[in-house]
Amino acid sequence: MEEQSQIYLNQYLSSLSETECKKYQSFSSDYFCADEHNANLCAELIRIGQKTATCSLNVWYESGEEPMPTVGHLQVVVDWNGRPICIIEIDSVETCKYNEVTAEFAHAEGEGDRSLKWWREAHWRFFVAECSELNIQPNEEMVLVLERFHVVYQ
């Protein structure tokens, strides 16, 4: 974790009681999305409480590229330049096929017009690029990891 994020995380943890602090065992720092505009936009949407969910390709976790998200994990959400914006706690993690994502989940992702149609179009483009990077074919049955979270500190 970058020093700036570690300092920010420590500020949050020091504001908690010893009992509250002990419940947290897993920490990270990262931005959302894969480009500056969307990383900064998502950070702001999370900060204001509009974005309370995210998803990713399950293949990243199956391949060992990334650790599977876990309930109770704390993430320092940073902007594209690594500046801490807020800290989120993961509330739930589940898997779902791309074509089974619900309108409610698309709304919770908080982006665009928050419709399922917008979500499917935007995420299809994103996942096609990721699948290309992984040398796999995208399809409507690909498994996603769906995360729900809330802001605990800003």
Structural element, H or E, at residue 144: strand 143-153
What is the torsion angle, in degrees rounded to the nearest 10, for the CA atoms of residue 46, residue 114, residue 148 and residue 143? -130
Instruction: Dihedral sign for Cα 101, 104, 110, 113, please.
Output: positive
Record the pTM.
Answer: 0.93
Q: d(Cα 23, Cα 32) in Å, to the nearest integer?
A: 25
Q: Which domain holds residue 137?
A: 3-153
Look at the chain and report how many structural domains it folds into: 1
pLDDT at 25: 93
pLDDT at 64: 84
Exposed e or buried b per residue across 117-154, where buried means at least 16 C-beta atoms within 10 angstroms of its C-beta:
eebeeebeebbeebbeeeeeebeeebebbbbbbebebe
Q: d(Cα 16, Cα 2) in Å, to the nearest integer?
A: 22
pLDDT at 79: 98
pLDDT, tens digit only, all 154 positions of the chain: 999 999 999 999 999 999 999 999 999 999 998 899 999 999 999 999 999 999 999 999 998 878 999 999 999 999 999 999 999 999 999 999 999 999 999 999 999 999 999 999 999 999 999 999 989 999 999 999 999 999 999 9
Q: Which CATH number characterizes residue 61's domain?
A: 3.10.400.10
pLDDT at 66: 85
For 82-104, the three-class secondary structure string (H helix, E strand, C coil) is CCEEEEEEEEEEEEEEHHHCCHH
Exposed e or buried b per residue across 55-80, where buried means at least 16 C-beta atoms within 10 angstroms of its C-beta:
bbbbbebeeeeeeebeeebbbbbbbb
